[in-house]
Structure formats: structure tokens, C-alpha cells
Amino acid sequence: MDDFMRAAILIFMVFYLVSPIDACPGPIDDAVVILIGMALRKQLAD
């Protein structure tokens, strides 16, 4: 299940970063998504 969650987080991050629809204009929301994704992946690894 951990491998599935890691893949799902990675796919969500890539989809959000390349999609033309953003929650907030500018790079701020992209940075937040990257930080959250990294934290979730680290938490799943522990």
C-alpha cells in the first residue's frame, strides 16, 4: 500500500504542477504542493 500511496502522491504533484488550472496565480502554490508532497512521501517512508 505504501508504494501505491507514493505513486499517487507523485502523480498528483506532477498533474497539479503541469495543469493550467492553479489554485493561486504564481509559483507560491506550486512550492506549497511540492513541500506537502515531500513531507507526505517522507512520512510514508518512515
- Please state, in angstroms and rounded to a whole number, the distance separating the CA atoms of residues 44 and 24: 27
What is d(CA 29, CA 3) in angstroms, rounded to the nearest whole number?
Answer: 25
> Which strand (E) or helix (H) includes residue 18?
helix 2-18
Number of domains the chain is built from: 1
Q: Which domain holds residue 37?
A: 2-45
Q: Report CA torsion sign: 18, 23, 38, 35.
A: positive
pLDDT of res. 46: 61
Q: What is the pLDDT of residues 4-46, one digit of tens each?
A: 877 887 888 788 777 777 667 777 777 888 888 788 777 666 6
Determine the pLDDT at residue 35: 84
* Nearby residues of 12 by Cβ (< 8 Å), 6 or more positions away: 37
